[in-house]
Amino acid sequence: MSALAIDQMSWDEKLRIMEELWASLSREEGRLESPPWHEQALKETVARYEAGQEQPIDWADAKRQLRKRAE
């Protein structure tokens, strides 16, 4: 897929393609290696959650919120 084809896609089409790519990559998660900073970021998130400063959100709701911000 060329950059021109991507540029001509709608925002929703781009998001759907990203989701499909992520789903494909996730099926081979053993090949994925998290960057070194990721462990620290996860620890910070857990600490905020345990301190009551962060609440979990359903993934579908998170995607809706992100799409709304991008409008």
pLDDT tens figures, 22-71: 899 888 878 878 898 999 999 999 999 999 999 999 999 998 998 898 88
In this prediction, residue 61 carries a pLDDT of 93
| 6-16 average pLDDT score | 92
pLDDT band at 14 (very low <50, low <70, confident <90, very high): very high
Mapping DSSP onto H, E and C, the string for the chain reads CCHHHHHCCCHHHHHHHHHHHHHHHHCCHHHCCCCHHHHHHHHHHHHHHHCCCCCCCCHHHHHHHHHHHHC
In this prediction, residue 20 carries a pLDDT of 93
Answer yes or no: are the C-beta atoms of 65 and 15 closer than 8 Å: no
